[in-house]
Amino acid sequence: MQIKDIVRKVKQIEIRTRRQTESALMGQYHSALKGQGMTFSEVRPLQHGDDVRRMDWNKTARFQEPFVKIMEEERELTVLLVLDISASMDYGTGSELKREYMAQICASIGFSAVGNNDKVGLILYADRIVKVVPARKGRKHMLSLIATILQADYLPAESSLDTTFQYLMNVFKKKSFVFVLSDFQDPVSKKLLPVVAKKHALLALRIYDEKDQQIPSMGFAQLKDSETGKTIWVNTSSKRWRYEFAERQRMLVKEKREQFESASAGFLNLATSQDYSKELYNYFSRF
């Protein structure tokens, strides 16, 4: 993509997402994140209306009187956009590539964060962490992040989210709001995921093209794994083969959803033909 094309695309995305971030999505985003980033303020005797889950049991035992920890909401929060840039994300059979769809979603989330005076950072990964853009505030920074997403080189490698999760645990000490955008074709550590989800607010956004789920009947065709480069010939006219392929994809989504949700993380399954703003709104409105 040429520089002029990137600039034009960034402007188009900003215009398209501005209406969404200035409307209901921003309000729901604020409601969902309110109270998530908390810091310790003081300990005082328990009063009517206090949250008993914040009892200070050590001080309560020492003074034989109930004491509670008082928390204050942090004024500055950090939103992290974590994007899979393995080659399978540089694909699309509809009007948009998955990478372009990801850029729009990131813009909606990012501009909502900017409107809330939050900082936004970016992590691009494939089989390793490829690029990290430190979290900052402001519209110009957000536009720069969109451009970075659009012009990234998507790598022919199997993605490894575990490496990125380990980086998050080592580098980001304060609770952040982590949005992971990927097709989640590769395994995620069952041990590491719950640890990350406990420390950070985590939402997985599975991005897929409809042909990822169901391949149409088109006779014998050569299919290529864009991450490994492996190819196979299949008879797509076979109803049995198409059914088994679709069933494998359905089970993949089911397993990933259960894995993330059992770790107290969110999971959304988004086709590039879907209205992502509606799905995000519905997700945030549950909080």
Name the burial class of residue 258, with classes exposed (0-12), middle (13-18) and buried (19+) by CB atoms within 10 angstroms of its CB. Answer: exposed
Kindly tell me if the per-residue pLDDT of 254 is higher than 90. yes
Kindly tell me if the per-residue pLDDT of 27 is higher than 70. no
Band the pLDDT of 21: cuts 50, 70, 90: low
Kindly tell me if the per-residue pLDDT of 143 is higher than 70. yes
Tokens of 180: 């992971």
**Model confidence over 38-95: pLDDT tens digits?**
555 578 888 877 777 788 888 889 888 998 876 555 556 889 999 999 988 888 777 7
- The proportion of the chain whose per-residue pLDDT surpasses 90, expressed as a percent, equals 33
Strand 266-271 vs strand 201-208: parallel, antiparallel, or unpaired?
A: parallel
In this predicted structure, what is the pLDDT of residue 31? 60
In this predicted structure, what is the pLDDT of residue 22? 47
Ordered domains of the chain (ranges, CATH): 3-33+75-284 (3.40.50.410), 38-73 (no CATH)
Strand 231-235 vs strand 220-224: parallel, antiparallel, or unpaired?
A: antiparallel
- The proportion of the chain whose per-residue pLDDT surpasses 70, expressed as a percent, equals 82
**Model confidence over 193-223: pLDDT tens digits?**
999 999 999 999 999 988 777 787 888 877 7
Measured CA to CA, the distance from residue 89 to residue 54 in angstroms comes to 43
What SS3 state is found at 233? strand
